[in-house]
Amino acid sequence: MSCAVDDEHDGRYRAPEGATGAKVLGVGNFGTAKLMQSTRTGALVAIKYLERGEKIDDNVKRELVNHRLLTHPNIVRFIEVMLTPTHLAIVMEYAAGGELFNRIASKGKFSEDEARYFFQQLISGVAYCHAKGVAHRDLKLENTLLDGGAVPRLKICDFGYSKHSEIDSDPKSTVGTPAYIAPEVLKRQVYDGKTADVWSCGVTLYVMLVGKYPFEDKSDPRNFRSTITKIFACDYKFPSNVELSDGVKDLIRRIFVVDAAKRIDVSGIQSHPWFTTNLPLELLNVDVDVDESDMMTIEDIRAIVDAAKTPGASSMHANAAHAQEDIGFSGEFEGEFDDDDMRA
């Protein structure tokens, strides 16, 4: 595959049929996501545009390579990456149902059965990632999308902080979103990204059931130093006004264990009685065998990302006024614990 500049997507993508232009799905500190349509298949896709130049680094390459390795029904599908005169364009499956976070924000906490339905899918996708050697490291409601089906399917997205156990260095940086971060990640030491993912899955489950974060300071929700203190102490409670079964309480207790070595792992979750209740048959027999003959190679991805490190001929200044809508960038931090960096 050539790395030649792809002007106007080389005719492969256009604004959706009947639309006056490409719909902006979100804007973040590092890029803009737009809804487009494949001219070959007619399928709607999400394209994330990252401005060429200094922001295109090996972290972007790692994200795309790791995402390309993952083909699972509960993971947003990576389609391809292209070079435009001004941007690196990342083409992905479009999830019409939006973020799982928005579903809770609009409808409130879930019933236990509904929470289990989504949690089973989340764990199915995470188990696949881990089996392929990839730790996500930023699992949260905002990084779980829903397709447009009447019975929505959950899809994990945004592998910007992911690490591969064989390709990448051992995780040791403090990355992610404060409310979801495992205690070992906060210690700035080498840690097991897969075990940390389990903690984040536990936070996701708790929020689906309770409608609030487990380690949030109720008197000052934006006090992230207090949140971190509560995480280290594993200081959380099951609200008396929320009816939860003993089974799900037991599972959450096994997840929220400060000592990562004693925390339940993904396989343990998959065999837990609460998890296996009403487990959909398709999650027992997930077919992940795909024909990779038409898929972009890892070598092509690396070459295109390297080419995108060179600034484009011009910049799209219309996208420079970055709104703080989250497409996987806001609310995250890496490195030192500065209050200004630890945004909700």
Binding site for ATP: what residues are annotated?
A: 48
Q: Which pairing describes strands 87-93 and 44-51: parallel, antiparallel, or unpaired?
A: antiparallel
**CA-CA distance, 216 to 178, in Å (whole number)?**
10
Residue 230 CB burial class (10 angstroms; 0-12, 13-18, ≥19) = middle
Q: Please check whether residue 176 is in contact with residue 332, taking contact to mean a CB–CB distance below 8 angstroms.
A: yes
Count of CB atoms within 10 A of residue 260's CB? 18
Residue 294 known to be catalytic = no
What value does the CA radius of gyration of the chain take, rounded to a whole number of Å? 20
Annotated binding residues, as ranges? Answer: 48
The one catalytic residue in 6, 138, 192, 197 is: 138
CA atoms within 13 A on the CB side of 216: 18
Q: Please check whether residue 40 is in contact with residue 12, taking contact to mean a CB–CB distance below 8 angstroms.
A: yes
**CA-CA distance, 195 to 198, in Å (whole number)?**
5
Q: Which pairing describes strands 333-334 and 44-51: parallel, antiparallel, or unpaired?
A: unpaired
DSSP string for 128-158:
HHHHTTEE-S--SGGGEEE-SSSSPPEEE--
Q: Which two tokens stand for residue 237?
A: 């409670």
Question: Cβ neighbours of residue 207 under 8 Å, at least 6 residues apart?
Answer: 104, 109, 141, 213, 214
**CA-CA distance, 248 to 116, in Å (whole number)?**
9
Please identify every residue annotated as catalytic.
138
